[in-house]
Amino acid sequence: MTTRSKSVVERTFESINTLFCQHLRGYVGGNVTRRGSGVQAAWTVAELQDLLDEWVVAGWQPRPHEGLRNPDLPGRILSPNEAYAVLVARAGYLPVSLTGDDYLELLPVEWRQINDYGVQLDYRTYDCPGLAPYRRQHSGIDAKRGLWEVHYDPYDLSHVWVRNHRDGGWITVPWTHLPMVRQPFADFTWRYARRLAAASGADDQDETMVATVLVDLLRRAGTGPPADRRIASRTRTAAALPLRPLPPPEDADEDEEGVADDQDQQALGQVVPFGAFDPLADY
From CA 40, how far away is CA 96, in angstroms rounded? Answer: 45
The domain ranges of the chain are 1-30+42-60, 66-92, 100-175, 177-224
> What is residue 265's predicted lDDT score, i.e. its pLDDT?
58
78-103: average pLDDT: 88
| Nearest Cα to Cα of residue 155 among 213, 103, 97 | 103
> What is residue 158's predicted lDDT score, i.e. its pLDDT?
93
Most confident of 20-29, 123-132, 254-263, 272-281: 123-132
Whole-model pTM: value is 0.56
At residue 261's C-alpha, the angle toward residues 259 and 264, to 5°, is 110
Q: Is the pLDDT of residue 189 over 80?
A: yes
Q: Is the pLDDT of residue 271 over 70?
A: no
266-277: average pLDDT: 57
> What is residue 154's predicted lDDT score, i.e. its pLDDT?
92
143-148: average pLDDT: 92
Of 221 and 198, more confident? 198
Which long-range contacts link 268-274 to residues 24+ away (Cβ below 8 Å)?
none
Partners of 174 in beta bridges: 159
> What is residue 205's predicted lDDT score, i.e. its pLDDT?
92
**What residues contact residue 156 under an 8 Å CB cut-off, 6+ apart?**
184, 185, 186
> What is residue 159's predicted lDDT score, i.e. its pLDDT?
94
Name the band, by pLDDT with cuts 50, 70 and 90, for residue 129: very high
> What is residue 238's predicted lDDT score, i.e. its pLDDT?
60
Of 109 and 236, more confident? 109
203-223 confidence digits (pLDDT tens): 999 999 999 999 998 888 877
Q: Is the pLDDT of residue 152 over 70?
A: yes
> What is residue 10's predicted lDDT score, i.e. its pLDDT?
86
